Each structure stands twice: as structure tokens, then as C-alpha cells.
């Protein structure tokens, strides 16, 4: 006789499933982080302050381990495997990044080895899982991509987003905040298009990140950082969400119906993407390696003006959310105009901050944890 308790039928209601996934992942992460902090202290696994860092005290950096646990457990428990056959490939990619990130957080990996791990995770979802872009999505590419071009473009997208989130993880709450904004926004899109299984994964990630955010921003006793483990996992999942959204038009056989999808996706991820593009261009013009770390990211400028991590994070997330709303309200303009408009706005903000700092320089010791 099949085991099918009556109370489990409530989870056939989408909003119940989504709420339960978010709450469950929140609880797993919230309960687990204090233990991770204690273990980090015992083993001396700290992020030590240096010239390029904006924090003042040694802080545990294994927060990504509990985000990994919360997001995976919740996704598996509340997602129907029949309707989310791609989940096993997503989890496989997450496991690869988890171990690569964990090793980097503990002993530090050379960039080449880290990139190799990211490439392997990307190959799992793109080649084995067939989670890839097959359409140009109206962004200066052919309407439909060949198999080889599809794989190359998708791998480039995945690795770019992984490293973009990793690069912008320089102040408290910013990378996790972008992850929350992104997962909630993408989750809403999935709900509106009936992709409940993907919405569950989005809400599972959001629940874990909200729990982490509390300890990262507000806790004194159990303060913790994402580490490369957390930032790479966030970037990886956001990349998967972007691919699925851009492919929604293909599934429904109505490419033109979803022409605003790339612009909306770009507005959701504009902060990490724009900062990565800007910092690479600046370093190339200065004759420096694009892989060399420095304190010239957008969040460093905002932090110098605001004086605290919390204020800087709130300001940048406010701009991010405003751009998302603006893009949705003006979605009839199409992809290219909206992308250019978003770039113009963020460029203007960045230049304003730059010229302000040139006239009113603030010392690094004005930062507050």
C-alpha cells in the first residue's frame, strides 16, 4: 500500500510549496551557521583583514557551506523530480563548486584551478543537463544558435556570472542581497509562467540567503562571510535562472512574446555585470592583469561615501530594484534600448561617485563594520 498521508496533499498547492521551501531553507541555514562559526574559530578558518579588504576583524568565511545545505535540501524536498528532471544536474554543478570554493576558502586556490572547477560545473549543466541557450534572445545574435555556439555562449555566461558575483562580494550583505533580489525576481517570473519547480529552487536560495544576511550584517557573536563557496553558488544558480528565463520563449514557441526577457534579466544582474565589465576595462587600460584584486570596485566607492557597509549595501540594492522596476514598466521598448538605458544610468551614477570622491576624498579608516 502506498504511503500517502492526507496532510501531504496541501503541498500540491503552489504557494504552500513555495512558502515551505523558503522557510525550510531559512531554518536549515539559520540553525547551522552558529555551528559553522564555532568550528571556524576552533580551526582558525578566518578571513584576515588586509590592504584590499574593508573589514577590521578576522571573520569566519564559510557561510557558503550552509547556503549550499539549505538550498539543496529544500530544493530536493519540495521539488517534484518528475517536473524538474534538470535538478540533478544543477545539484551536481553545485557540488563541484562547493568543494572548489571550500578548498579555496580554507587553503586558497590558484585562479587557474578555480576556473577549471567553474568550467567543469558549467559543462555539467550545459552538456549533460542540456541547460543552455538555443536562441539569440534578440541581443545581436541569430534567432537560433547552432549546437556548438550554444554551448560556448552558455558556458561563457555561466562563468561570467559566477565570477561577477565573486568579484562584487566585497562588502557585507551586497552579494547575498543581490542574490535575494535576483532569486525573488526570477522566482516571480517562473511563477507567472507556470515553472513552479524552478520557482521552488529560487525561493530555496532566497530563504538561505536571508538567514545568512542576518548573521553577516547584524550578528556580533556569529558574524560570518560568504566566502568563495557562497558567492560562486549564488552566481551559478543565477546563471541557471537566466538561461531558463531566456529559453522560456522557445518552450512556448513564441520568441517575440518574450523579447523583454533579456533586458529584465540584465536589469536584475546589472550591478555585478557592470562592475565586472568596468573593472576589466580599467585594469586593461592601466596595463594590469584583469585577475589582480584591488579596491576600485563600485562598492568600494559607495562605501567610502556612505561610511558603513549597511548603508552602502542598501543604497546599491535600492538602485538595483529601481532599475528592475523601470525595465518592467518600459518593457515595450525592447531589449537593446532598455539595456543601453540601464547601462547609461549606472554609468552616470558611477561617474558621479568618482568625481565626487576626487573632490571629497575619504580615508579608508572611515569604514565601519
pLDDT digits (tens, 9 = 90+) for 87-119: 999 999 999 999 999 999 988 888 899 999 999
pLDDT score of 206: 97
Q: Are strands 46-47 and 59-60 parallel, antiparallel or unpaired?
A: antiparallel
Which residues is 320 bridged to in the sheet?
none
Q: What is the secondary structure of 316-369 as a DSSP string?
A: HHHHHHHHHHHHHHTGGG-HHHHHHHHHHHHHHHHHHHHHHHHHS---GGG-B-
Per-range mean pLDDT, top range of 73-77, 141-145, 250-254 = 73-77
Choose among 344, 358, 346, 274: nearest CA to 315.
346
| Torsion sign (Cα): 330, 331, 336, 338 | positive
Percent over 70 (pLDDT), the chain:
76
Of 129-143, 212-226, 237-251, the range with the lowest mean pLDDT is 129-143
**Does the structure show a pLDDT above 50 at 8?**
no
Per-range mean pLDDT, top range of 29-38, 262-271, 360-369 = 29-38
pTM score of the predicted model? 0.86
Percent over 90 (pLDDT), the chain:
43
Q: How far is CA 245 from CA 113, 179, 362, in A?
A: 30, 16, 42
Which residues is 47 bridged to in the sheet?
59
Average model confidence (pLDDT) across the chain: 82
> What is the band of 252 on the pLDDT scale with cuts at 50, 70, 90?
very low
pLDDT score of 329: 77
Q: Which residue has the higher pLDDT, 80 or 369?
A: 80
Choose among 230, 242, 228: nearest CA to 190.
242
> What is the band of 199 on the pLDDT scale with cuts at 50, 70, 90?
very high
pLDDT score of 289: 67
> What is the band of 192 on the pLDDT scale with cuts at 50, 70, 90?
confident
Q: What is the secondary structure of 23-87 as a DSSP string?
A: HHHHHHHHHHHHHHHHHHHHHT-EE---TT----S-EE--HHHHHHHHHHHHHHHHS-TTT-TTH
Q: Angle, nearest 10°, between helix axes 227-246 and 261-268?
A: 170
Q: How far apart are CA 222 and CA 34, in angstroms?
A: 6
pLDDT score of 152: 94
Q: What is the mean pLDDT of residues 252-270?
A: 66
Q: What is the mean pLDDT of residues 324-345?
A: 70
> What is the band of 269 on the pLDDT scale with cuts at 50, 70, 90?
very high
Q: How far apart are CA 117 and CA 133, in angstroms?
A: 21
> What are the pLDDT digits (tens) for 293-314?
767 778 878 888 887 888 989 9
> What is the band of 164 on the pLDDT scale with cuts at 50, 70, 90?
very high
Q: What is the mean pLDDT of residues 330-334?
A: 68
> What is the band of 326 on the pLDDT scale with cuts at 50, 70, 90?
confident
Q: How far is CA 338 from CA 47, 323, 341, 346, in A?
A: 39, 10, 5, 12
Choose among 248, 224, 233: nearest CA to 118.
233
> What is the band of 366 on the pLDDT scale with cuts at 50, 70, 90?
very low
> What H or E segment, with its residue span, contains residue 115?
helix 111-123
Choose among 239, 200, 230, 240: nearest CA to 69.
230
DSSP state of 13: S
> What is the band of 69 on the pLDDT scale with cuts at 50, 70, 90?
very high
**Does the structure show a pLDDT above 80 at 156?**
yes
Q: Which residue has the higher pLDDT, 135 or 347?
A: 135
pLDDT score of 258: 47
Number of CB atoms found within 10 A of residue 146's CB: 10
Q: What is the mean pLDDT of residues 172-200?
A: 92
**Does the structure show a pLDDT above 60 at 185?**
yes
| Torsion sign (Cα): 135, 185, 161, 234 | negative
Amino acid at each position: 500500500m502506498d504511503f500517502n498521508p492526507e496532510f501531504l496533499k496541501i503541498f500540491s498547492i503552489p504557494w504552500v510549496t513555495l512558502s515551505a521551501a523558503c522557510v525550510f531553507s531559512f531554518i536549515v541555514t539559520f540553525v547551522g551557521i552558529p555551528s559553522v562559526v564555532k568550528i571556524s574559530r576552533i580551526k582558525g578558518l578566518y578571513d584576515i583583514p588586509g590592504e584590499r579588504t574593508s573589514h577590521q576583524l578576522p571573520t569566519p568565511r564559510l557561510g557558503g557551506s550552509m547556503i549550499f545545505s539549505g538550498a539543496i535540501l529544500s530544493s530536493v524536498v519540495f521539488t517534484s523530480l518528475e517536473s524538474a528532471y534538470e535538478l540533478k544536474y544543477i545539484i551536481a554543478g553545485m557540488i563541484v563548486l562547493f568543494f572548489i570554493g571550500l578548498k579555496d576558502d580554507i587553503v586558497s586556490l590558484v585562479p587557474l584551478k578555480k576556473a577549471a572547477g567553474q568550467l567543469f560545473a558549467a559543462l555539467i549543466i550545459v552538456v549533460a543537463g542540456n541547460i543552455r541557450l538555443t536562441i539569440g534572445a534578440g541581443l545581436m545574435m541569430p534567432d537560433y544558435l547552432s549546437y556548438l555556439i550554444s554551448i560556448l555562449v552558455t558556458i561563457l555566461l555561466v562563468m561570467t556570472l559566477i565570477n561577477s558575483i565573486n568579484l562584487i562580494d566585497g562588502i557585507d550583505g551586497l552579494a547575498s542581497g543581490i542574490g535575494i533580489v535576483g532569486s525573488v525576481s526570477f522566482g516571480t517570473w517562473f511563477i507567472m509562467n507556470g515553472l513552479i519547480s524552478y520557482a521552488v529552487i529560487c525561493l530555496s536560495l532566497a530563504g538561505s540567503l536571508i538567514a545568512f544576511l542576518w548573521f553577516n550584517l547584524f550578528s556580533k557573536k556569529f558574524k560570518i562571510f560568504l566566502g568563495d563557496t557562497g558567492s560562486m553558488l549564488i552566481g551559478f544558480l543565477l546563471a541557471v535562472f537566466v538561461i531558463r528565463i531566456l529559453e522560456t520563449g522557445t518552450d512556448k514557441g513564441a520568441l517575440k512574446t518574450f523579447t523583454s526577457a533579456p533586458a529584465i534579466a540584465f536589469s536584475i544582474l546589472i550591478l555585478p555585470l557592470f562592475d565586472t565589465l568596468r573593472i576589466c576595462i580599467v585594469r586593461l587600460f592601466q596595463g594590469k592583469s584583469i585577475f589582480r584584486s584591488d579596491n576600485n570596485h563600485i562598492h568600494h566607492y559607495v562605501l567610502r561615501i556612505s561610511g558603513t557597509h549597511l548603508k552602502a549595501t542598501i543604497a546599491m540594492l535600492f538602485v538595483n530594484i529601481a532599475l528592475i522596476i523601470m525595465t518592467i514598466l518600459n518593457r515595450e521598448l525592447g531589449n537593446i534600448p532598455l539595456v543601453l538605458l540601464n547601462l547609461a544610468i549606472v554609468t552616470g551614477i558611477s561617474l558621479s561617485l568618482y568625481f565626487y570622491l576626487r573632490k571629497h576624498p575619504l580615508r579608508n579608516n572611515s569604514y565601519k563594520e
